[in-house]
Amino acid sequence: MYEYIEGPLVEKNPAYCVIDVAGVGYCIQISLTSFSMLESLSKVRLFIHQVVREDAHLLYGFFTRQERELFRLLLTVTGIGANTARMMLSSMTPDDLQQAILTNNTSLLQSIKGIGAKTAQRVILDLRDKISKEKGSGEIFPAKDNRLKDEALSALVILGFNKGEADKVISKILLAEKNLPLEDLIKRALKQL
């Protein structure tokens, strides 16, 4: 239902934060990875996943789309609920967690509180193929609206840059900052190519 929530950060601690949106404070559950990104910010945008239960409506927030998509993938694994998925993302960065899954590192997954041998094996079995399919693109979960990325990539290819390298640089820039104007995106990419 919610894509993201943006506004002044009213309260933050390692388990949750409160964002004020037009006078309404949204309490959003966060991972330690997202918390570390929020430390110096006063205004923030978190990508949201909503969990509706019989006794509660919970919002889980993530600093990047990549982290949210990995959280959603973890929820598809039998035996992994929202709190366990958040614990996994708090124990490791999304990149480290994906690497552990891709390399069949069950001992690393078992080092996470609440993850036993069977659950670690199930996570690897269920998610390895889903993650490896997208790993080659330089971005684990491509954005749904790629018009800005496509236009910037087209401009860089016309300027004579390698399409693969340009794609990786643009993806990296867009992961860090989503709402760049096309000109700024191209300028930043040119500096990194």
Classify 40 as helix, strand or coil: coil
pLDDT tens digits, 8-20 = 999 999 899 999 9
pLDDT tens digits, 170-181 = 888 888 787 788
Domain 147-192 has CATH 1.10.8.10: yes
pLDDT tens digits, 101-150 = 988 888 899 888 888 999 999 999 998 888 876 655 444 444 434 678 88
Domain regions of the chain by residue span: 4-62, 65-135, 147-192
Burial class (CB in 10 A: 0-12, 13-18, 19+), 9: middle
The whole-number pLDDT of residue 137 equals 46
Q: What is the mean pLDDT of the chain?
A: 86
Instruction: Look up the pTM and report it.
Output: 0.67
The whole-number pLDDT of residue 145 equals 44
Indicate the Cα dihedral angle 162, 165, 166, 169, nearest 10°.
-170
The whole-number pLDDT of residue 140 equals 47
For residues 30 and 61, the answer to whether their CB atoms sit within 8 Å is yes
The whole-number pLDDT of residue 138 equals 46
Q: Which of 13, 28, 17, 94 is nearest to 61 (CA)?
A: 28
The whole-number pLDDT of residue 142 equals 45
124-160 burial: b if 16+ Cβ within 10 Å, else e: bebbeeebeeeeeebbbbeeeeeebbeebbebbeeee
CATH, domain range 4-62:
2.40.50.140
pLDDT tens digits, 25-38 = 999 999 998 998 88
Domain range 65-135, its CATH number among 1.10.150.20, 3.30.70.20, 3.40.50.620, 1.20.120.530: 1.10.150.20
